[in-house]
Amino acid sequence: RAALSSGRRVVWAAGPAGSVQTESQGWRPLAISHGPDAASASTLDAGEHRLRIGESAAGALVAQHSMVFTLGAQKQAIEQVRRRVLDQPTQHLHTRSLEGVHNTLLVLRFLHDFEGRLEQLAEPVEPAEAEDLPSYDRWSALELFCRPWVVIGRGQGRRKWGAELLRLEEHVPLSLRILCAALSPWGIPLGSLLAWVTVQSPGAFCRLHLRRIAGPRVAPCRVRLDRGYRVEADGLSMEALARAAATGGACDLVRGGLPQFGGIGAA
């Protein structure tokens, strides 16, 4: 399989055996650990879940997912990314400096709220009128998860935008993108109609379909963490902050919420 893009080195985990294939393009690989849960983490529900991990030339953690269609698969993919943030330091996500620890806490809070928003979308709003109709809008949840997220830290000095900390996006092979483009003249109207008939979101279906054609580099969803989050850790040392990040304390130290998630987690 082709690597992410020029200037990245990635690993690709797939299959029940949790096999790892390293593809080098001149950058340090982020190897996936072979712990007790490594094999199970790469197989979700009845199908295959794949997660490709790497570090961009700008020092951002890059995570590309594939075949992640259910809430359970999405939660496990987010958990894998969360473990990479803690286990595999990058240029901007580490515990060697106060800024690196702050970035780590903010990204962990982002992943927590992201998962919470997906769970919120999966909650039934009202009983389905028929047993064969879904009780929640699956297309809206899938479209949210598959957006090309670009998570950005706080700007410094004259820099309006901070460094890219995390890129979380769907991996769509070129062959599938071509197929989606070829089928779009009738696929989009038909899919939108089916979504409407089954009480789903036609708009979410269209956005997901068009984004798969365009790819993750066109109109990514940029999130400035300092616009919605703030770290409240007065008096805590860098070592204490690092321990809090490693033990799940990001939600206690990071306050606020993001409009992309409907303000979930705001405090």
**137/201 Cα distance (integer angstroms):** 7
How far are the Cα atoms of 12, 34, 42, 69, 184 from residue 15, in angstroms, in the given order? 10, 13, 6, 16, 30
Which DSSP letter does residue 16 get?
T
pLDDT the model gives residue 109: 96
User: Per-residue DSSP letters for 27-90?
Assistant: S---PPP--TTHHHHTEETTEE-EEEEEE-TTS-EEEEEES--SHHHHHHHHHHHHHHHHHS--
Sequence letter at residue 209: H
pLDDT string in tens for the chain (267-residue length): 444 444 454 444 444 333 333 333 333 445 544 333 443 333 333 346 688 899 998 899 999 999 898 999 999 999 999 999 999 899 999 999 999 999 999 999 999 999 999 998 887 755 544 444 444 678 889 999 999 999 999 876 566 678 999 999 998 888 888 888 888 888 888 888 887 777 688 888 899 989 889 888 888 999 999 989 999 988 899 999 999 999 999 999 999 999 888 766 555
Alpha carbon distance 50, 142 (integer Å): 16
Q: Is 151 helix (H, G, I), strand (E, B) or coil?
A: strand
Q: What separation in angstroms does the CA of 248 have from each of 122, 158, 243, 244? A: 24, 33, 9, 6
Cα separation, 110 vs 197, in Å, equals 34
- Residue-level pLDDT at 264: 61
Q: Look at residue 188 in the predicted model and tell me its pLDDT.
A: 84
What's the order of all strands across the beta sheet hosting 149-152? 19-23, 9-14, 50-55, 61-66, 164-170, 149-152, 221-224
Joined tokens for residue 136: 């929640």
Cα distances from 267 to residues 113, 115, 229, in angstroms, run 12, 17, 10
Q: Which long-range contacts (CB under 8 A, 24 or more apart) does 197-201 make?
A: 198/133, 198/134, 199/128, 199/129, 199/133, 199/134, 199/137, 200/134, 200/137, 200/138, 200/139, 200/140, 201/137, 201/139, 201/140, 201/143
Domain residue ranges of the chain, discontinuous segments joined by +: 49-123+136-172+219-256, 173-214
Structure tokens at 207: 């956005």
Angle at 20 between CA 19 and CA 21, to 5 degrees: 125
What is the reported pLDDT for 32? 47
Amino acid (one-letter) located at 75: K
Regarding beta strands 47-48 and 19-23, do their DSSP bridges make them parallel or antiparallel, or are they unpaired? unpaired
Q: Is beta strand 61-66 parallel, antiparallel or unpaired with respect to 164-170? A: parallel
Q: Which two tokens stand for residue 30?
A: 């982020």
Instruction: Determine the pLDDT at residue 191.
Output: 84
